[in-house]
Structure 1
Amino acid sequence: MTLQVADDSRVRTLTLDRPEALNAFNEELYDATAEALLAAAVDPAVAVVLLTGAGRAFSAGTDLLEMHRMATDPDFVRGQHGFTGLIDALVDFPKPLVVAVNGLGLGIGATILGFADLGFISTEARLKCPFTSLGVAPEAASSYLFPALVGRQNAAWALLSAEWISAEEAHRMGLVRAVCTPDELLPTARRHAEILAARPISSLVAVKRTMTEPHRDAIRAARDRENAAFAELMGGPANLEALAAFAEGRAPDFTSLPPGW
């Protein structure tokens, strides 16, 4: 199993559980997480979902070795939901989503905070949106959600630079509600989740809907723009150089790419 599911006090905890791969999302984990969100959305016994990771990472993002196979192997079999299906499930998730970032968060491990109703982060965690270092485009509607959450300048730095963002900087930006010590992260996130879960589910859903409904069309439009740009760039010279460098354990060299790349 790549995802652990546990219920307590109307809070469903989803734990990404590929610690040997730093909880990187392969197609199996994308499918499992999407299915879990879809199930929680319609389960009358679930009021809140709490998402976290097992081991020292929250999520290292998309599994780059599998991404390389997707870009180069025409026979690669994709999952039922995949990345796009997970994003759709996040966009449509009607109940509060609490995210506890316990360790490294790269790619979707960082941009998923755009969908968090409450975010908490460990002092030992760091975030990175590595898109330009991979020669690809933003994802998960982060090109819309991040500027809305943290402002244009902070969002531009996060999405353009591919530099690490500390827990304290993430809090200062407004990506998370609080920074916690590692021992206090899950208890703090759970305490907040249980406060919400004690409220009427119908009211929680109504509050979230009234907050998110004005943004749904813009989020979907951003996702579509990003997916188109990502598809255009994936498998291109910059992306292939980045993936080859990752597989070979070296830093990518973009200086010898064709003009315009």
Structure 2
Amino acid sequence: MILQSDDTNRVRTLTLNRPEALNAFNEALYDATAEALLAAADDPQVAVVLLTGAGRAFSAGTDLTEMQARVSDPHFVPGKYGFTGLIDALSRFPKPLICAVNGIGVGIGVTILGHADLAFMSSTARLKCPFTSLGVAPEAASSYLLPRLLGRQNAAWLLMSAEWVDAHQALRMGLVWKVCEPSELLTEARRHAEILAAHPISSLMAVKNCIAEPLRPGISAASARENAYFAELLGTQVNAEALAKFTAGRGM
């Protein structure tokens, strides 16, 4: 099962479960995660969703083998929701969303944090947005959400440099809310999730909507800009060479 789900005390924990691929998102995982968020949104027994990863990674981003296939394989079949469907589900998710970054996060494993209401990070984890090293554009409305969350210069460095950021840098930037020792990460994230989940869901949703609704037009516009640039740059010579390097195991 590529996405595990567990319910405890009105908290639904979703665990990305492709540890052999560092929880990289292929079309199946994009679909499963989008479907899980839509189901949690509609479930009256779920007050909070906690998202984490299995193994040593939170998520290594989009599966680059599939990204290459999207460019080169005329028979490539996209998923039902895919990347854009997941981002739509995230941006519209009406309940508190907490991320527990247990290991490395790359690409969507970082930009997903812009959609989180709270983010916890293991002290040994690290994060990277590899967009410029892959010759592509940013994603997941990160060009809009991250400057608001981190300030323009921190966001610019994160999105442009393709350099690793450690947990304490991420905390100073404001990308995550708390840094925990690895053995304490899920305990702390779940403890905070259960504090929220003890409150009326209707009230939690009202607060979430008051925070999120003003951002949604900006998220939609940023996603459209990013997707247009991404489509323009995907498959160019620079991108093709970078993908070949990464899929050969030399880029990470």
- TM-score between the two structures when normalised by the length of structure 1: 0.95
In structure 2, what is the Cα distance between the partners aligned to 1:175 and 1:248?
31
Amino acid at match of 1:187: T
Structure 1 residue 238: Cα displacement: 1.1
Amino acid at match of 2:217: D
Secondary structure of 2:134's partner? coil
**2:106: which partner in 1?**
106
In structure 2, what is the Cα distance between the partners aligned to 1:229 and 1:96?
31
Structure 2: gaps spanning 5 or more residues: none
In structure 2, what is the Cα distance between the partners aligned to 1:115 and 1:14?
15
**2:230: which partner in 1?**
230
**Percent of aligned pairs with the same residue?**
72
In structure 1, what is the Cα distance between the partners aligned to 2:38 and 2:249?
37
**1:17: which partner in 2?**
17
Amino acid at match of 2:246: F
Amino acid at match of 1:178: K
**1:93: which partner in 2?**
93
**1:40: which partner in 2?**
40
Secondary structure of 1:133's partner? helix
Q: After TM superposition, list the pairs within 5 Å mapping 1:1-261 onto structure 2.
A: 1-250=1-250
Secondary structure of 2:155's partner? helix
In structure 2, what is the Cα distance between the partners aligned to 1:114 and 1:249?
28
In structure 1, what is the Cα distance between the partners aligned to 2:247 and 2:201?
46
In structure 2, what is the Cα distance between the partners aligned to 1:203 and 1:124?
35
In structure 2, what is the Cα distance between the partners aligned to 1:247 and 1:103?
21
Amino acid at match of 1:175: L
In structure 2, what is the Cα distance between the partners aligned to 1:183 and 1:249?
30
* TM-superposition CA deviations, 1:118-156 (whole Å, max 9, x none): 000001100000000000000000000000000000000
Amino acid at match of 2:126: R
In structure 2, what is the Cα distance between the partners aligned to 1:33 and 1:170?
24
Secondary structure of 1:4's partner? strand
Ranges of 4+ aligned residues in structure 1 off by more than 2 Å: 247-252
- Distance change in 2, residues 1:251/1:10 (3 Å): closer
Amino acid at match of 1:188: E
Structure 1: gaps spanning 5 or more residues: 253-261
Secondary structure of 2:13's partner? strand
Amino acid at match of 1:235: G
* TM-superposition CA deviations, 1:150-207 (whole Å, max 9, x none): 0000000000000000000000000111000001100000000000000000000000
Secondary structure of 1:250's partner? coil
In structure 2, what is the Cα distance between the partners aligned to 1:74 and 1:251?
25
- C-alpha RMSD over aligned residues: 0.9
**1:259: which partner in 2?**
none
Secondary structure of 1:50's partner? strand
Amino acid at match of 1:106: V
* TM-superposition CA deviations, 1:15-70 (whole Å, max 9, x none): 00000000000000000000000000010000000000000000000000111111
Number of positions where the alignment pairs a residue of Structure 1 with one of Structure 2: 252
Amino acid at match of 2:105: G
Structure 1 residue 251: Cα displacement: 5.1
In structure 2, what is the Cα distance between the partners aligned to 1:250 and 1:97?
34
